[in-house]
Structure 1
């Protein structure tokens, strides 16, 4: 497994509040990584910095085999390098069918120029069917996306991101609002996706994280508090004191 993303010495303050403090971590390719932590741990800012929404005050971020710096790049430039992000609330085109949503993502993988060179092909149709199968929506391809359940909309948005062939996929609290069956299938989708790319899942549902069966990074006050298997980090007394013993697990 090679290193895809490297963050070193990242710090970020907002009006005197230090959201991220000397944060360093590496993500491999392929890899599935869960990021957990209490309120104010810096999980959202962590994702904002990777995707270019927020600029760090210090440190560097390198991406890809050429170790390209992400500092100073725009959100669209970073997306075009192959970094996709799924927010907690699903954003799909509700009036369009599931098929049309996926087709639009295939047509426009990373920017407007891709549309100019897109051609309908048997390969594209096969890819669409493959993604629909992976996200468990084959039987719903003709349905308007607005008719899907909350969990199915989450799957569709993940599918739309997968259609763009990202090398790194950031997923924010995918289990929120899902039924037990939907949560189970979502872990299957993410584990499958991580076989060929890097996937970072920010989550606080420990059952969901356990089913992901991956390395876990615990953030606290903007820094890495612990890292390792879920069993390893949940047996860490400091993690128990600052996170697991508390009821506020969001960000």
Structure 2
């Protein structure tokens, strides 16, 4: 497994508060990784840095086989390089059908003229049906996205990200607000995705993390506090003191 993303010695300060403190983190391809930690640990800021939303004060963020610096790329260029991010609240086009949401997300030329002249091909339709099957929404392709459940909207957004064919998927608290059945399906969906790409999941639900069955990175005060299996990190007294013991 080769290293896909390497964050090295990254720090960032907001109004005197150091949100990320000399953080180093690496993930391979394919790989599943869970990130846990207390509020304020730097989990969201870490994702903001990787996706170009926040620029660090120091350090490097290196991407892919060519060892490209993501810090030299815009947010749009980072997406084009193969990094997809799912925020905690699902953001789908609620007045459009599930099919239309998946169609608009397909990885294609998105220049103004290309979008204007775009007509879905048979390959596009086959890919949309394939994605719908993967996310469990095959029976809802003609359903208006605003009418499906919260969990189904989460799956649709994951499907929209997969449609972009990212090499790295960043997913923020996907289990929030879901039923147990929805959480189980979401786990299966992410584990399947991680067979062919890197998937980083930020989550507070320890049972959800356990089902992911992957390496866990614990952040605290903007740095890596512990890393290893879930059993390993949850037995670490430092992790108990700053996170689990609360």
Q: CA deviation at 1:129?
A: 0.8
Conserved? CA contact 1:109–1:163, under 8 Å: no
Unaligned runs of 5+ in 2: none
Structure 2 residue matching 1:182: 3-state secondary structure: helix
Counterpart Cα distance in 2 of 1:110 and 1:229: 41
State the shift of 1:115 in Å: 3.9
Q: In structure 1, how many angstroms separate the alpha carbons of the residues matched to 2:67 and 2:48?
A: 19
Structure 1 residue 183: Cα displacement: 0.4
Equivalences for 1:58-137 in 2 at 5 Å? 58-106=58-106, 108-109=107-108, 111-112=110-111, 115=115, 120-137=120-137
Contact in 1 for aligned 2:4/2:64 (Cα 8 Å): yes
Report the Cα distance in structure 1 between the residues aligned to 2:50 and 2:119, rounded to whole angstroms. 32
Residue 167 of structure 1 deviates from its aligned partner by 0.5
In structure 2, the residue matched to 1:231 is 231
Question: What SS does structure 2 have at the residue aligned with 1:7?
Answer: strand
1:39 Cα offset (Å): 1.0
Gapped regions of structure 1 (runs ≥ 5): 247-251
Asked whether the equivalents of residues 109 and 165 of structure 1 are also in contact (C-alpha less than 8 Å), the reply is no
Q: Deviations over 1:22-73 (max 9, x none)?
A: 0001100001100000011000100000000000000001001001001132
Tell me the CA shift for residue 126 of structure 1.
1.4
Q: Check conservation: 1:29, 1:196, Cα contact below 8 A.
A: yes
Q: Which is worse superposed, 69-78 or 59-68?
A: 69-78
Equivalents in 1 of 2:47, 2:119: separation in Å?
Answer: 33
8 Å CA contact 1:97–1:141 kept in 2: the answer is yes
Q: Distance in 2 between matches of 1:117 and 1:144?
A: 24
- TM-score for both structures, normalised by structure 1: 0.94
Distance 2:148 2:5 in 1: 34
In structure 2, distance between residues paired with 1:18 and 1:2 = 31
Alpha-carbon offset, residue 125 of structure 1: 1.4
The secondary structure found in structure 2 opposite 1:27 is strand
Question: Given that residues 109 and 115 in structure 2 are in contact (C-alpha distance below 8 angstroms), is that contact kept between their aligned partners in structure 1?
Answer: no
Distance in 1, matches of 2:149 and 2:83, equals: 27
8 A contact 1:80–1:110 mirrored in 2? no
